[in-house]
Amino acid sequence: MCGIVGYVGADQALPLLVEGMERLEYRGYDSAGVAIIENGKIATARKAGRLDALIDEVERRDLPGTIGIGHTRWATHGGPTDENAHPHVDCSGTIALVHNGIIENHDVLRARLSREGHRFASATDTEVAAHLIESIIHERSCSLREAVLEAVDVLEGAFALVCISSDEPDRIVVARQEPPIIVGAADGIGLVASDIPALLKHTRDVIPLDNRQVAEVLRGAVTVFDFEGNEVEPPVVHVEWDMEAAEKGGYEDFMLKEIFEQPEVVRNTLRGRVDLGGRVRLDEVHWDDETLQGITKVVVVACGTSFHAGMAAKHSIEHYTRIPVELDLASEFRYRDPVLDETCLVIGIAQSGETADTLAAIRYAKEMGASVVAITNVVGSSITRDADAVLFTHAGPEIGVAATKTFLAQLVALNLFALYLGQQRLSMEPQKVAETLAAMEALPDQVEEVLLLEDEVRRAAKRYADARDFIFIGRGVGTAVALEGALKLKEISYIHAEGYPAGELKHGAIALLEPGVPVVAVMTGAKLYDKMLANVEEVRARGAEVILVAPRGDERARALADQLLEVPSTKPLLSPILDTIPLQLLAYFITKEKGLPPDKPRNLAKSVTVE
């Protein structure tokens, strides 16, 4: 989810690049850099940290030139350092390149190019692409565009590449495979960006490249080719949004934008972690099999939304590995005198990586001799330094205070980790691992299907926006979904909402029910299906109105629902990834009906850095 900007024209490139990068900094902010061509040479400036650090750097340097590329980074391969910041250059300093995505075969290409004599200066997958293009040009004596067209046939994974060459200082060459990239041209200028805000000041007519397309951007002109080298006629999109709306991708609020980014978030968190043999590959986890075999207990510590992800993960880990799992609120963990030793594995989950209670919990666990793995979205955050291993969620920056896409990314990452433990400990048959991974790889498309419920959820929100109380119920992993749905609603709409295991209703909470109270019921899995139906009958008998989240085509659920939200079927332990989305939308649209700001709920902060 990095920010990319490119400019070629008559004006000085640096101010225009910095301005565009400022508009895209929300897409990545752990390092930034620029590369500019002047007098047949490429000059670069790269700094770790937020964009301000780069701006301070370039203010002290003379970087003239009328063509250049810029990048704000959300680190994946290699930490947020000056050396790992983009742009990257080849051995000769002739080619500069920025990249968004993950090149899955970077390690194989790095080894091959190293044998050819190429020297690498970073730990990134991106630098491999620069040296690969250099190698092709050297061998073929071809143009930059021709070299990029050959390189994209070699690269595996997801990539948006933007390249310049001091040998061709009048053009920018762009390639897209999955991550979005947009090009445009106006009077005497050519433009490139990973999102519309960086272009909008200069033109409202843009060309979003399709997958498997390459563009050559010159002053006032853009030519587009497919990966086979055939020229194509791309559609031009006229942008009507104002600048604020453009930063939100045309969505009214960041929260809604982030909910609709979730198909790509799930793809990104899966990408590069499933091999062709149907096995989990977690390059970030370096424990040997003997260590993994020695684990006798797993403890999950987290707060808020991350705690709900851990609640779902408890079911997956125990099912896949047969290791007992304890689940603790991080704020309570240290104070109950937990029993830990070197055979225990502690999983700390924190979206920001800076949650004070979770940091304190994992530090305490390490003092007790336990091994610690962190699940986080932020490279270079405190939790990554304290943990023994880190599994990153590739959700990209999340601007809305209420977590949405980061929660889904956590669910995906935790299921991958649970499968990995089962796979390495041989507690799960290889066929079962492969079947579950196949179901996971279907999830991005299924998430897109769930998002088609937008209008139905909007109607439900209008119907129930004036309710004073909500109750959410579920069983098994559905309990985690119920708790998360209740949390989302109370966070942003300020409606009193409670999540319960459905079987606990009759132990007290059912006293809260009266005619008109909305009850949201999450129907999960055949094993608990009949019991959930019985719970729904119980609440209906007390006059409650029922919103059901159920598998598509479920006629028994339809007969009991005042409002039915149907989702695609998947494996029960993966169902929270789909079942959560309608509840996110419900919270969002109820909040809008009440005229409240979903991105900035009162009294809340994105990262809780105090106990």
Q: Mind giving me the DSSP string for 482-500?
A: HHHHHHHHHHHH--EEEEE
Q: What is the model's pLDDT at position 102? A: 85
Q: What is the distance between the alpha carbons of residues 347 and 364, in angstroms, rounded to a whole number?
A: 13
Q: What is the distance between the alpha carbons of residues 367 and 388, in angstroms, rounded to a whole number?
A: 13
Q: What CATH number does domain 3-176 carry, 3.40.50.720, 3.30.390.10, 3.60.20.10, 1.10.150.240?
A: 3.60.20.10
Q: What is the mean pLDDT of the chain?
A: 92
Same fold, 256-441 and 449-593: yes
Judge whether residue 508 has pLDDT over 70.
Answer: yes
Q: What is the distance between the alpha carbons of residues 582 and 577, in angstroms, rounded to a whole number?
A: 11
Q: What is the distance between the alpha carbons of residues 567 and 569, in angstroms, rounded to a whole number?
A: 7
Contact 550, 391 (CB under 8 A): no
Is residue 34 very low, low, confident or very high in pLDDT (cuts 50, 70, 90)?
A: very high
- Summarised one tens digit per residue, pLDDT across range 353-388 is 888 899 999 999 999 999 999 999 877 678 888 899
Fold of 449-593: Rossmann fold (3.40.50)
Q: Which residues contact 89 (CB under 8 A, 6 or more apart)?
A: 35, 42, 44, 95, 96, 97, 130
Specify the range with the lowest mean pLDDT, choosing from 42-51, 102-111, 300-309, 519-528: 519-528
| Other C-beta atoms lying within 10 Å of the C-beta of residue 130 | 29
Q: What are the tokens at 148?
A: 């990029």
| Alpha-helical regions (H) of 261-373 | 262-270, 289-293, 304-321, 330-333, 356-367
Active site residues: 2, 606
Tell me if residue 105 falls in helix, strand or coil: coil
- Summarised one tens digit per residue, pLDDT across range 228-278 is 999 999 989 888 766 666 678 789 999 999 999 999 999 999 998 999 889
Q: What is the model's pLDDT at position 207? A: 93
Q: What percent of the chain has pLDDT over 70?
A: 97
Q: What is the model's pLDDT at position 610? A: 45
- Summarised one tens digit per residue, pLDDT across range 166-214 is 999 999 999 998 888 999 999 999 999 988 888 888 998 999 898 899 9
- Summarised one tens digit per residue, pLDDT across range 556-574 is 888 888 999 999 999 999 9
Q: What is the model's pLDDT at position 242? A: 66
Question: DSSP secondary-structure letter at 280?
Answer: B
**Average pLDDT rounded to a whole number, residues 2-31:** 87
Question: DSSP secondary-structure letter at 192?
Answer: E
Judge whether residue 609 has pLDDT over 50.
Answer: no
- Domain ranges within the chain, ordered by starting residue: 3-176, 256-441, 449-593
Q: What is the model's pLDDT at position 324? A: 97
For domain 256-441, give the CATH number: 3.40.50.10490
**Average pLDDT rounded to a whole number, residues 122-145:** 96
Q: What is the model's pLDDT at position 244? A: 64
Q: What is the model's pLDDT at position 398? A: 84
Q: What is the model's pLDDT at position 380? A: 65
Q: What is the model's pLDDT at position 284? A: 79
Query: CA dist 469 to 321, 486, 494, 581, Å?
Result: 39, 10, 10, 20
Using CA of residue 379, residue 381, residue 383, residue 388, what is the dihedral sign?
Answer: positive
Single-letter amino acid code for the residue at 407: F
Q: What is the model's pLDDT at position 192? A: 97
Q: What is the model's pLDDT at position 375? A: 96
Q: Which of 538, 479, 483, 485 is nearest to 507 (CA)?
A: 538
Contact 29, 51 (CB under 8 A): yes
Q: What is the distance between the alpha carbons of residues 449 and 437, in angstroms, rounded to a whole number?
A: 19
Q: Which of 447, 387, 461, 445 is nearest to 417 (CA)?
A: 387
Q: What is the distance between the alpha carbons of residues 272 and 553, in angstroms, rounded to a whole number?
A: 34
Q: What is the model's pLDDT at position 27? A: 63
Q: What percent of the chain has pLDDT over 90?
A: 71
Buried b (16+ CB within 10 A) or exposed e, 311-347: bbbbbbbebbbebebbbbbbbebbeeebebeeebbbb
What are the phi and psi torsion angles at 373 (to 5°)? Answer: -115, 135
